[in-house]
């Protein structure tokens, strides 16, 4: 089955479970099928499926590859569905593979998404600033209140940047 036929199958299965007229998926670079509907704060697609909220890449696996095998050591009671492409919004089953929690952690470490305390800076799924923003904040000399308003973050976030408590890995020249 070609890519467009698979996407149509995925879309038609999801239409039956949701009252949505817009597409859920778009073709993106590197062959990813990016989920463009609801997402988690970490960028994973989510959808109602079989009466419950599920991660979209797991639903894609179920619809296009078959049921996910049981694994009681994981959060879902089934195996983990991991991304080869390292794109959390991708639902292309050819970019997905099955593993366990250890495989998931090892994959994240191997791809540089896991530091000593987790992902740093822009690689963190909830980052609201870029490294360029951090450098500009450090160089600006403006009051924390003004910087917080300008970058839509809290004053304490700005203070932590200025005191080097966060974003310490960012050097002044980028």
Predicted confidence pLDDT, tens digits, the chain (174 residues) = 676 776 776 666 665 545 555 668 888 878 898 888 888 878 888 988 888 889 999 999 998 899 999 988 777 788 999 999 888 889 999 999 999 888 888 888 888 776 545 667 777 767 788 999 999 999 999 999 999 999 989 999 999 999 988 898 888 764
Distances (CA, A) of 156 to 61, 117, 123, 131: 42, 20, 21, 18
Q: CA nearest 108: which of 130, 83, 131?
A: 83
Could you tell me which residues come within 8 angstroms of residue 95 by beta carbon, excluding any fewer than 6 positions away?
A: 31, 32, 33, 83, 84, 85, 87
The structural domains of the chain, ordered by start, are 3-110 (3.90.75), 121-162 (no CATH)
CB 109 within 8 A of CB 115: no
**Residue 15: strand, helix, or coil:** helix
- Return the CA Rg of the chain: 20
């Amino acid at each position: 089955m070609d890519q467009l036929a698979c996407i149509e199958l995925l879309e038609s299965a999801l239409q039956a479970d949701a009252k949505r007229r817009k597409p859920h998926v778009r073709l993106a670079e590197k062959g990813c099928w990016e989920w463009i509907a609801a997402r988690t704060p970490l960028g994973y697609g989510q959808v109602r499926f079989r009466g419950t909220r599920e991660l979209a890449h797991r639903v894609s696996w179920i619809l296009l590859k078959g049921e996910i095998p049981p694994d009681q050591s994981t959060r879902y009671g089934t195996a983990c569905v991991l991304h080869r492409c390292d794109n959390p919004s991708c639902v292309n089953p050819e970019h997905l593979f099955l593993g366990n929690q250890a495989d998931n952690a090892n994959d994240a470490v191997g791809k540089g998404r896991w530091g000593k305390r987790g992902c740093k800076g822009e690689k963190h799924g909830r980052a609201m600033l870029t490294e360029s923003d951090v450098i500009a904040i450090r160089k600006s000399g403006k009051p924390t209140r003004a910087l917080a308003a300008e970058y839509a973050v809290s004053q304490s976030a700005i203070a932590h940047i200025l005191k080097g408590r966060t974003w310490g890995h960012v050097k002044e020249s980028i």
